[in-house]
């Protein structure tokens, strides 16, 4: 069904922020042209606005309660250990598969949650969730014979090829150069792919816009409580530089593809992180909802061991270290860090203390291995935990720390919701900056709240970074002058049905999102039967665990 002209180009600018776009729009001519001649909106991300659930919602047009991806991992049956998930865990098809099965030639590059690659009518290059080192090999490419050409003619496909947990003098200048190089490589890669395939639809992920926001916000924002003054304009202008380079890439790719329609989407926005650190389990313990055990020292040791490994083991050797004993040692370290140090016989509520996912679980009888909350007291306990959290005060200002506490069924809809944390927290933003979240089992934690010292402002992945995700992302759409009804509530769920509509395909009734060219949502329909979940092999799981550590998500 391939046409002489590409029907649809989708550019996924990870972490591209609408407020920064508004400020710098005059200096981003290609994206500004799309906005001025088409449609611009601030698009809602998932809750929380994080990589895996957000891009899965982008791909499927449904919320995490249906597609089933809430995090990089899922809890095992004992609820006290985790396993890593991949694209086969997603419970519904991607719009790429729907278009491929309809006969369109489609291709995607680097979208997270696409490993292993789908056998599309076209190609797929998996995102950074591949269980591989920083330069991916043939297993992340479909068809596999394409991998050799990518290596030979475009220098290969890279994820973050630098250690984000060991940040010292000169690191930021070196990384900025690598981010620019990464954007240049993407241009060469697209040129190669266009020579190999006559595409109806291309989806290109750009991760550099996210990385620069996480690591350079302290130099960019004089109002930030974590502001770090520098006379080096290269550093203070780094985010602007990458936004300009991303704009140039968008212009070059649009010119090369000559598409009938262009969609630019970011999975979330970006903003500054506060100098105030929260420790959820410490707070729960202070209110007699959780009790630490004698294993607390063991957790301290595991945290220390992991940090040492991330920081000092050479980057190219880390994955080999974590594969010792088929990865069982590394898996035990991760599970120990998350779940040890707690006296389960006296704990009613607890948090995994993920720095990107403020949430609480009840220690429920019949579900948790050592649960003590009777099912009949679930609602009562939820009410108690919620009340305590909503009364948490910031000792510096007296303001409330928590803006809202929502039960998972009030955030997600679908049968997979049972796998989400029981409570999701919306935290206030003191002076517009996100609270940082830490682990109560670290030596720095002596109370539920503390202020960072100046030498912690820059931060690192795996700890607290100076830039963090925001709920609103960007959507730009230019479809040759076609009218789009104005709406205030556009979300990532709307991208997949809109993409299918732009290809001239009927939107499946099971998609929750709304085709932006229509004012009504499709009727709820039967969800396609999911494929069996395929977990990683032990070696793949440990390669992935290492990759996620290097990227800072664990």
Its pTM surpasses 0.85: yes
How much is the average pLDDT of 114-140? 83
Burial class (CB in 10 A: 0-12, 13-18, 19+), 224: buried
Query: What are the Cα distances from residue 342, in Å, to 18, 297, 337, 349, 427?
Result: 41, 11, 11, 11, 24
Q: Return d(Cα 420, Cα 372) in angstroms, integer.
A: 19
Q: How confident is the model at residue 174 (pLDDT cuts 50, 70, 90)?
A: very high
The full DSSP string for 343-380 is -GGG-SEE---BTTB-EEEE-BTTTSTT--B-GGGHHH
The per-residue pLDDT for 547 is 61
How much is the average pLDDT of 373-401? 97
Over pLDDT 90: what percentage of the chain?
Answer: 73
Q: How confident is the model at residue 326 (pLDDT cuts 50, 70, 90)?
A: very low
Q: How confident is the model at residue 528 (pLDDT cuts 50, 70, 90)?
A: low
The per-residue pLDDT for 481 is 73
- Residues 461-485 have pLDDT tens digits of 888 999 999 999 999 999 987 777 7
Phi, psi of 499 (to 5 degrees): -60, -45
The per-residue pLDDT for 322 is 44
Q: How confident is the model at residue 156 (pLDDT cuts 50, 70, 90)?
A: confident
Over pLDDT 70: what percentage of the chain?
Answer: 84
Q: Is 92 helix (H, G, I), strand (E, B) or coil?
A: coil
DSSP 451: E
Most confident of 237-251, 322-336, 432-446: 237-251
- Residues 419-431 have pLDDT tens digits of 999 999 999 999 9
Assess contact for 160 and 176: CB atoms under 8 A.
Answer: no
Q: How confident is the model at residue 327 (pLDDT cuts 50, 70, 90)?
A: very low
- Residues 261-314 have pLDDT tens digits of 999 999 999 999 999 999 999 999 999 999 999 765 555 555 555 555 544 455
CA 524 centroid distance within chain: 27
The per-residue pLDDT for 79 is 85
Residue 172 clears pLDDT 60, i.e. is over it: yes
Residues in the chain: 554
The per-residue pLDDT for 72 is 87
Number of neighbouring beta carbons within 10 Å of residue 1: 12
Angle (CA) 135-141-143 rounded to 5° is 150
Residue 499 clears pLDDT 90, i.e. is over it: yes
Q: Which residues contact 325 (CB under 8 A, 6 or more apart)?
A: none
The per-residue pLDDT of the chain, averaged, comes to 88
HEC per residue, 420-438: CCCEEEEECCHHHCEEEEC
Q: Return d(Cα 323, Cα 125) in angstroms, integer.
A: 24
Q: How confident is the model at residue 316 (pLDDT cuts 50, 70, 90)?
A: very low
Angle (CA) 168-297-462 rounded to 5° is 30
Q: Return d(Cα 471, Cα 268) in angstroms, integer.
A: 6
Q: How confident is the model at residue 551 (pLDDT cuts 50, 70, 90)?
A: low
Q: Return d(Cα 141, Cα 193) in angstroms, integer.
A: 12
**Euclidean distance between the first and final Cα of the chain, in Å?**
43
DSSP 536: P
């Amino acid at each position: 069904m391939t046409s002489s002209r590409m029907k649809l180009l989708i550019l996924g600018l990870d972490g591209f922020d609408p407020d920064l776009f508004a400020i710098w729009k005059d200096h981003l001519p290609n994206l500004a042209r799309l906005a001025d001649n088409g449609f611009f909106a601030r698009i809602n991300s998932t809750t929380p606005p994080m990589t895996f659930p957000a891009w899965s919602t982008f791909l499927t047009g449904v919320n995490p309660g249906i597609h089933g991806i809430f995090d990089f991992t899922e809890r095992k049956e004992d609820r006290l250990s985790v396993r890593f998930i991949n694209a086969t865990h997603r419970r519904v098809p991607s719009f790429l598969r729907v278009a491929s099965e309809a006969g369109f030639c489609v291709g995607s590059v680097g979208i997270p949650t696409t490993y292993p690659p789908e056998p599309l009518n076209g190609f797929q290059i998996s995102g950074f969730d591949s269980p591989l080192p920083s330069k991916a090999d043939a297993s992340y490419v479909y068809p596999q014979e394409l991998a050799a050409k990518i290596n030979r003619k475009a220098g290969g496909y890279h994820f973050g090829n630098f250690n984000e947990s060991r940040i010292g003098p000169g690191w930021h200048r070196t990384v900025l150069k690598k981010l620019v190089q990464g954007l240049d490589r993407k241009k060469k890669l697209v040129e190669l792919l266009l020579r190999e395939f006559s595409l109806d639809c291309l989806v290109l992920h750009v991760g550099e816009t996210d990385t620069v926001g996480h690591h350079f916000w302290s130099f960019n924002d004089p109002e930030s409580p974590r502001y770090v003054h520098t006379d080096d304009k290269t550093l203070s202008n780094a985010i602007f530089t990458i936004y300009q380079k991303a704009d140039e890439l968008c212009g070059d790719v649009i010119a090369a593809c000559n598409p009938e329609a262009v969609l630019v989407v970011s999975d979330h926005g970006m903003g500054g992180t506060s100098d105030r650190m929260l420790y959820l389990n410490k707070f729960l313990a202070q209110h007699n909802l959780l009790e630490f055990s004698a294993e607390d020292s063991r957790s301290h040791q595991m945290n220390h061991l992991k940090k040492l490994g991330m920081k000092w083991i050479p980057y190219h050797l880390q994955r080999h270290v974590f594969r010792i004993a088929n990865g069982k040692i590394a898996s035990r370290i991760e599970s120990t860090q998350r779940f040890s140090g707690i006296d389960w016989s006296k704990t009613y509520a607890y948090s995994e203390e993920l720095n990107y996912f403020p949430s609480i679980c009840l220690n429920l009888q019949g579900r948790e291995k050592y649960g003590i909350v009777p099912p009949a007291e679930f609602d009562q306990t939820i009410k108690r935990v919620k009340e305590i959290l909503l009364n948490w005060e910031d000792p510096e200002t007296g303001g409330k720390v928590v803006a809202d506490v929502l039960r998972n069924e009030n955030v997600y809809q679908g049968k997979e919701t049972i796998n989400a944390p029981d409570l999701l927290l919306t935290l206030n933003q003191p002076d517009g900056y996100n609270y940082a979240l830490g682990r109560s089992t670290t030596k720095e934690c002596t109370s539920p709240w503390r202020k960072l010292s100046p030498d912690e402002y820059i931060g690192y992945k795996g700890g607290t970074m100076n830039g963090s995700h925001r709920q609103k992302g960007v959507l730009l759409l230019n479809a040759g002058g076609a009218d789009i009804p104005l709406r205030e509530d556009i979300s990532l769920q709307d991208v997949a049905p809109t993409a299918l509509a732009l290809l001239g395909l009927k939107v499946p009734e099971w998609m929750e999102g709304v085709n932006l060219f229509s004012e009504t949502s499709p009727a709820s329909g039967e969800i396609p039967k999911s494929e069996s979940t395929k977990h990683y092999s032990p070696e793949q799981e440990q390669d992935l665990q290492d990759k996620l550590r290097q990227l800072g998500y664990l």
